[in-house]
Structure 1
Amino acid sequence: MKTQLQTMVLAIGLVAGAAAAGANLLANGNLLESPNPAKMAGAEEHTNTWKAPLAVDASVPGFKVTRSPIFLVISKKTSKRWLDLNGGGGVSQTVALTPNRRYLLKFTLEGDPAGRGEQSVALQGAGLNTSENVRNDGRRQITAQFTPTSNEATLEVYATSGGRGPRVFDLSVEAQ
């Protein structure tokens, strides 16, 4: 009986650990908990999208606008949402982490077709200081590993130049 109980406790621990390793630690990383941009103040209708401006210090559930105003955008066809880091804009989120454990930040970076030929973002946070580029007609899956030294970290993604900046969506942080 004791051996069965120990085996069951070990199995539950392994399942919980496996789930935690693949779980997205960011709140609202897919932006689906965000308000519908079409119903927000200042919303602009375009051919295939609605976009709403977000000022510095504004919040989208889970995220805070940190630099230059940005846009929350929704596709009329697919209801996909993304953050348009217009004018050097950026967002951050503070995440609870385990010190000295390795994590993986992942997101999709997409160029703005109306913007410059190459667009870039900087990634900053605990143990994270890098940049990534994308062409204005391109899309890339970005991954960056980092190891925090404290039990929480503020992670920031921001465009490194003004004008029409790149788009980010499907953001996640997973324990490795």
Structure 2
Amino acid sequence: MTPTGDAPLPPEETSGRFWRRRDRAEGSPLPPLSLEELQARIVELTAAAERAASLRNSAELAAAEQAAERLVAEEHAGAASRALTEAERSAEDHARAAADAWAAREAADRAAADHSRARRDAEKSAEQAATARARAEESARAAAVAAEELAVALREAQEVAATAARERAAAEESARDGR
């Protein structure tokens, strides 16, 4: 048997590697083997064939395991690729959400600044209105005092006028009677 487990080819069809020694010339015949040598050679070649078959089975098993591992690795790579794609999509969604949140924050900051300006303007207007009201109240008090003083002066003037009118009437009466 050959190391591949096949039956040996006749010497003229082989390179002579299994049947001849290298140091012998191609044309020299092999010395005849004894029965014990032939049996030892058969045992040796059978063991070599069994080792070759065992090695071939081990190689086939290793190749099958490697193919199975490759399939599992390809499945894992596919799952990892899908997970990476999903993670990238999720990252893009998060980036869009962050951009939207940033824009909303900027809008809120602008609205807060506008509100702050409007509040300051309203407070300023309220201060001006309070000042104007205080002035108006002061003017109203002054006008009330002036009106009271005028009313007193008017009463006094009316009393003086009434007194003058009575005195005049009395003087006219006395002038009429005295005539």
**TM-score normalised per structure 2:** 0.19
Structure with bigger helix share is 2
